[in-house]
Amino acid sequence: MKALSVRQPWAWAIIYALKNVENRGWPIHYRGDILIHAAKTCTKKEYQVAREFCQGMGVEIPELISLRRGQVIGVVTIVNCKFSQVACGWGMPEQYHWKLENPREIAPIPYIGQLGIFEVPDDLVMEVAA
């Protein structure tokens, strides 16, 4: 199954806080379900910037130490992708806004993330989905 690494706390926000836009510098043509992998790295500064942004969206995120990292944590459906020059909701300016729907939590799968879209073996996903 296809997967995307997302730094925390953004990965948490996609699965648990209805973050319905993923901001990327490149478009995606794929439509359908994709695993959300919580990247292993997150600096305190990155976390603080994200925390302030989320608070502005009315979302309180968990403390950094309690966020899962280096694991697949959920599934979301990519339904659209458009470039935007302006910020809107979760969307940042001058980014491709990947429109996300139907976030679902799954039992965490320890996995090493990769840049771009990558594949996670179906047998790993089936174990936690069963």
Which positions ≥6 away from 31 have C-beta within 8 Å?
Answer: 78, 79, 80
d(CA 83, CA 49): 23
pLDDT at residue 95, rounded to an integer:
97
From the list 71, 75, 73, 95, the residue with the least C-alpha distance to 21 is 95
From the list 34, 44, 45, the residue with the least C-alpha distance to 6 is 34
Q: Sort 83 into a burial class: Cβ within 10 Å, 0-12 / 13-18 / 19+.
A: exposed
From the list 117, 110, 108, the residue with the least C-alpha distance to 22 is 117
pLDDT at residue 2, rounded to an integer:
96
Ramachandran region of residue 123, left (φ > 0), alpha (ψ -120 to 50) or beta?
alpha
In the block, which residue shows the tokens 């296809």? 2
10-residue averages of pLDDT along the chain (130 residues): 95 95 96 96 92 92 92 97 94 96 95 91 74
pLDDT at residue 71, rounded to an integer:
95
> Residue ranges per domain, the chain?
2-117
The overall pTM is greater than 0.85: yes
From the list 39, 34, 105, the residue with the least C-alpha distance to 74 is 105
Written out in words, the top-level CATH class of the domain with range 2-117 is: mainly beta
